[in-house]
Structure 1
């Protein structure tokens, strides 16, 4: 039986069906998502070889904006599938597996043929013949979800408290935050959005957006980094928006005393605060712009509400600069000492202090506080492993590729004998990792090598 997947994951909708429409015949099916689909990952419906990639008339450009056409053998499902209005992440000549991430929906009308973000999928059942297209939904009958960790059905609250923190996605965030803040918005699809599941939640990380940025921009991401980019967004007027409860790409490379190296995304709830907005502001002059009072109050109340639920102290609150200042040169959030001043204000809030002159609801401290000591981060030999597509770590990537290519300790062909040991974590390496993960539950087939996948591989770096 041919293995097939939907081209978009959780929350997808059909925005324009195959067939006649007002100005002619639509020879494909358009997909999107309520609230916007810019940056949404695109997956291969079935296995095949890329025969066209990049800029194309009607789909946009320059490359990598445009389209992909993937040709499949009869054993792989047959025919050609055309994916339009995307930013490609594979190249002509690449072989892709069914369900592999191949691109993302183009968020920029300027390079997207001046149309709103969406995916156009065309199906040519007998090779590349643009005049002979059929309804793609016929082929998608019985297709599987490309993101098993994020089903279209909202998640139930299966998170639980452990000595290491809370495990599972924090589906309870809305119920905890709503009564504790003055302005609260739930972004469409927040219950099913994210890049997989949290490992265990150990604290909160505060960021700034580096200019004016909407909640939608955090949910959808940008051309070089698909959303969501944090769990929360705080506007300059103090409006708090819950973006997602799954993992978000907000932390990146870095370290902190109670976190495994480079693993912040899987252990921290991220908060993106809109700003600063002063032209030319940077690390050296960040003091010139003051935070809006309502935004600071919203941030303080949000952090206090979450930490009370987690039963952590304010020492579990850090800034992006505290984690990634040395590794990435980060300086956010601007003009704020998160581990000092903000942590002190949050601590007052958690203890029930009434701040003079403030109206609105307050977080309610627990009747019997039960502080939980900071968990000791894993110290085993796999704890600091984090490899992903595009990473600049050739020696580590070569070690991974060697482990996939050969049987352990030998030169005999292994599971993925065709992989090239070149130190480049490209599309083929990602596809091999994803396939390895997919066949070894409970690993998440995301193409990212973290501690769990490294341990399964026996990959010591």
Structure 2
């Protein structure tokens, strides 16, 4: 579970994974947030577009159509591997699916068959639409597949998720067949392998927000050390020693000082990092 990445953090995470990103005009404010919740997020859903051509596919996914307003996903992955960002927030992509699948995604365990459609997936999942006719004959070029793997890994890395957090639309609901033409088990294996590698050149200057829930799992990570050093530099230290890689109450107390310095009060200054205060802290990229 995690707070959705900000637009800047999403771009940074994708680029850090070596993905070529195109920011479609207006994507940062293109969402369906007025129609329902966006977050907490738990994973990534992979789709195929049933279209051909990059421009037409991007336009459709940005605008939607009369029966289903856009955005229809967060990013469109073209045949050449370029990721075109079209939405930032709630998007009409996952629809209703199985609550049991969501529970498995959260637990990062093997997925049950989707036999019910009782849960709103648009609340909880990022979505990538991948340009393909979906007929089982249209090929999946390696450049496109690798970009799909890297885009999925980027979100998993940013939120501290495993490859089990990446599912196909057909694994979410029994009413869909996408993505067609490859096995999701093999795709997850590639995502898992990617997560074992370090990020490639193009790593952002600042660490993307790993999500509030990541900190509540008591992580041990160089991200925590980098954060602590920034808190010290900002005059917000509550450390008697360190900071070090293990998240402790001293980290939380120091972060609470930072939140108060930014003007937050009450429960908004409880020491648990949030996306906006994290962005303001400008933690150097470390992992």
Mapped partners of 2:143, 2:101: distance in 1: 31
* 1:313 maps to 2:162: yes
**Correspondence for 1:170:** 6
Mapped partners of 1:295, 1:168: distance in 2: 25
1:182 deviation in Å?
4.0
TM-score, normalised to structure 2's length? 0.60
1:181 deviation in Å?
2.8
**Correspondence for 2:183:** 337
The verdict on how the C-alpha distance between 1:319 and 1:251 changes in structure 2, with shifts beyond 3 A counting, is: same
TM-score, normalised to structure 1's length? 0.38
1:166 deviation in Å?
1.6
1:208 deviation in Å?
0.2
| CA shift digits 1:93-126 (9 cap, x unpaired) | xxxxxxxxxxxxxxxxxxxxxxxxxxxxxxxxxx
The verdict on how the C-alpha distance between 1:174 and 1:209 changes in structure 2, with shifts beyond 3 A counting, is: same
Provide the secondary structure at the position in 1 that maps to 2:161: coil
Please list, as runs of the form range in 1=range in 2, the aligned pairs for 1:371-390 lying within 5 A after superposition: none
Q: Is the Cα contact below 8 Å between 2:47 and 2:130 reproduced in 1?
A: yes
Q: Is the Cα contact below 8 Å between 2:47 and 2:168 reproduced in 1?
A: yes
1:238 deviation in Å?
0.9
1:363 deviation in Å?
7.6
1:175 deviation in Å?
1.6
Aligned match for 2:142, one of 275, 290, 293: 293
The verdict on how the C-alpha distance between 1:348 and 1:168 changes in structure 2, with shifts beyond 3 A counting, is: closer
Q: Is the Cα contact below 8 Å between 1:304 and 1:363 reproduced in 2?
A: no
Q: Is the Cα contact below 8 Å between 1:234 and 1:271 reproduced in 2?
A: yes
Provide the secondary structure at the position in 1 that maps to 2:45: strand
Aligned match for 2:29, one of 174, 192, 208: 192
The verdict on how the C-alpha distance between 1:257 and 1:170 changes in structure 2, with shifts beyond 3 A counting, is: farther
1:170 deviation in Å?
3.4
| CA shift digits 1:173-215 (9 cap, x unpaired) | 1121123234210111122110115120100000000121421
The structure carrying a bigger strand percent of its residues is: 1
Mapped partners of 1:221, 1:239: distance in 2: 20
**Correspondence for 2:47:** 207
**Correspondence for 2:120:** 263
Aligned match for 1:323, one of 161, 172, 176: 172
Structure 2 unmatched ranges of 5 or more:
104-117, 218-287
**Correspondence for 2:270:** none
1:362 deviation in Å?
7.9
Please list, as runs of the form range in 1=range in 2, the aligned pairs for 1:339-378 lying within 5 A after superposition: 340-352=185-197, 361=201
Mapped partners of 1:231, 1:349: distance in 2: 21
Runs of 4+ deviating beyond 6 Å: none
Q: Is the Cα contact below 8 Å between 1:198 and 1:246 reproduced in 2?
A: yes
Please list, as runs of the form range in 1=range in 2, the aligned pairs for 1:36-435 lying within 5 A after superposition: 165-168=1-4, 170-171=6-7, 172-196=9-33, 197-212=37-52, 213-259=56-102, 261-276=118-133, 281=135, 286=136, 288-324=137-173, 326=174, 328=175, 330-338=176-184, 340-352=185-197, 361=201
1:248 deviation in Å?
0.3
Mapped partners of 1:186, 1:229: distance in 2: 15
Q: Is the Cα contact below 8 Å between 2:62 and 2:86 reproduced in 1?
A: yes
Larger radius of gyration: 1
Provide the secondary structure at the position in 2 that maps to 1:217: helix
Tell me how large the CA RMSD over aligned residues is: 2.9
Mapped partners of 1:272, 1:361: distance in 2: 25
Instruction: Give the length in aligned residue pairs.
Output: 189
